Amino acid sequence: MVGTDTDLNDLLVRHIEAWNRHDLDGLMSLFADDCVFESSGGEQVWGNRYEGRAQVEQAFADVFSTMPDAHWGDGRHRIIAPDYAVSEWTLTGTLSDGRRLEVNGCDFLTVNDGKITKKNSYRKQRPPFRV
């Protein structure tokens, strides 16, 4: 658990800020070694599941390389329990083929000892479009 609601909210803010800086090291510093990331899309009902620091880090690096201008705006955070919170955001970015992406989404985040142990992502996405 994180010490207080203020500590947990600070972790959520730092999480969004690291994504927006495309700071992979800073982002991974917020995650536990045994972390799990469940993406919003994939072959399974839970999306794609990445387990452990190496897999999660590679999944995050792939996001940055796929959308070099990705930005998570309008961050809103809700603390549900001392070890569980939701971050809502709007992702915008340009895909490699030049189409724009705009997504409203959220992460359900589980935290233990001040580190994120699970990031479970959901999103509403319209098809990418040409500008």
Q: What is the pTM of this model?
A: 0.91
Residue ranges and CATH numbers for the domains of the chain are 5-125 (3.10.450.50)
For residues 64, 99, 14, 65, the Cα torsion angle rounded to the nearest 10 degrees is 0
Is 126 a residue whose pLDDT tops 90? no
Instruction: Name the β-bridge partners of 128.
Output: none
- For the cut 90, the answer to whether the pLDDT of residue 79 exceeds it is yes
For 81-109, what is each residue's pLDDT tens digit?
999 999 999 999 999 899 999 999 999 99
| pLDDT-derived band at 61, boundaries 50, 70, 90 | very high
**DSSP at 47:** B
Report which DSSP code applies to 7.
H
pLDDT confidence of residue 3: 61
pLDDT at 1 over 50: no
